[in-house]
Structure 1
Amino acid sequence: MQADNKNIRQASNGNLGNTSKPLSILVIDFIEANISVFIQNYIDGEVEKGLNNNFALCMNMQVQHELFMFHHEDIENTSLGNSSSIDIGVYPKGKGKRGKRFFALEAKRLDTKLDSRRKKEYILGEGGGIERFKRNIHAGELSTAAMIGYVQTDSFDIWESKINSWIDEAINSSDSCDLTWINSDKLIKENETAEIAKYSSEHVRLSNKQIKLTHLWINLLK
C-alpha cells in the first residue's frame, strides 16, 4: 500500500480513532476546516514564498491531535545538492526518526497582474505546477497530491474557465512536446464556499503512472 493511501489509526502522539479515510483526504479536510484562520490572520502580501511560509505555519499551529505536520520548501531528493523542492510536504507526526512524506502541495498565485511570462504557470512552463507533476519533478513517489491557488484577482469561475481553456490549447496544440495533454487534465469542480473552492483532476505522468490532484483555491480578494 502506497504511503499516501495509509489509513489513520490510534497512535501515542494523537488519537483520532479508527477511520477508513486515507491520510491524504484527512489533510484536505483539515485544510478546508482551517482555511478561514489563514485568510484572516496569515496573509502576507503578494509574495508567493511568504504566502507558502505562512500557510504552512498557520496549518501547523492549528494541528492538535492530528497525526501529521506541514513542511515548507520540501526538498524532493535529500541526496542531491541541486534537488528541486515542492512548496509544502506533509509528514506523519511522531517521535524519533522522521516518517516518509505521504502528501505534498504545490502553490501558485492566480493573479492577472503576474508577468506575462508567468501567465500560465499554474499549468505550463518551467515552473508550471501541473506540468511539474506530469514530469515527475514533484511528488514522484505519490499517487495523490494537491495544488493551492491563491486567488488575488477575479473569481473562482473565471479562473476555472481560464485554466481549462489553457489546457484545451495544450490538448489541441501542434507543437512537438514530450508531454501529452488530454481531457482528464482539466479541472472538475467539487464544491465551493465564499472562502475556498475545490477541484479535482487526473494526470498521466511521463513514467506512465497516474496522479490525482486536488486543487484548493483560496479567496484572498480584499
Structure 2
Amino acid sequence: MSTQPDLPDSIALFPLPGALLLPRARLPLHIFEPRYLAMLEDCMKTRERLIGLIQPRAVPGGEAARLHAIGCAGRLTAFSETEDGRYMITLTGMSRFRLLSEVEGFAPYRRGQISWDGFERDRGPAERDPGLDRPAFLDLLSRYFTAVDLSTDWSSLKEAEDELLINALSMLCPFPPEERQALLEAPSLQTRRETLVTLMEFALRGRSSATPGERMQ
C-alpha cells in the first residue's frame, strides 16, 4: 500500500525493452499500438496521469513476458496527436516503484499492484554526488562516446547539475537492457554514477580487446 495518499496503489504498465526512465528526467515516446493508445487515453482521464515504464524479462516460446520487479512511474507532461491517430508524448520521471503483482482486468494493456516504499528519495529534491570527479568522469565519457560513435554538447555537460548529468547519460548510453536495469535500481545517485563508470570502462575494455574486424561490425 502507498504511504502517501496522492500516489495510487495500481498503475498502467508499459513494458518497453531497453527503455530507461529515471526520477525527474524526461523521456519522449512514440505511441502507436492500439493497446497503448487505449492506455494513454485512460491515463489522461486520471488525476495523476501516471504510466509505469518497466522492462520485460526475456522468455522463450512467445509467452507473455515476465517483468522486472522495479520500474519507474512517469507523469504524462506533454503529448501531441498526429493526423493518423498516433501520439508523441513525454513522460517525466516521478518515482521508482516495486511491482507486487499484476492486476487482472478487461483493459487491453497490463496493470500492476505496486509499492512506492523505499523510493522516497525519488520524490524529494534533486540529488547531489559529492564523490563526482567531473574532469575524470568527462574524460572517460569522451573516450566512450568516441568508441561508440556518439556526440554531445560538451559545454552543456560541463555545466549540468550532478543529477541531470548522470541521469541523462544513463538514459542516453546504448547499454544492453540488463545493464540499464542496474542503472535504474541503483539506490543513490553516487551508486548510479559508479555503475555508469563501470559499464563504460567495461565497454571500452571489450572494444580494445576485439580484433579490427570485430570492431567494424
The TM-score normalised by the length of structure 1 is: 0.23
Larger radius of gyration: 2
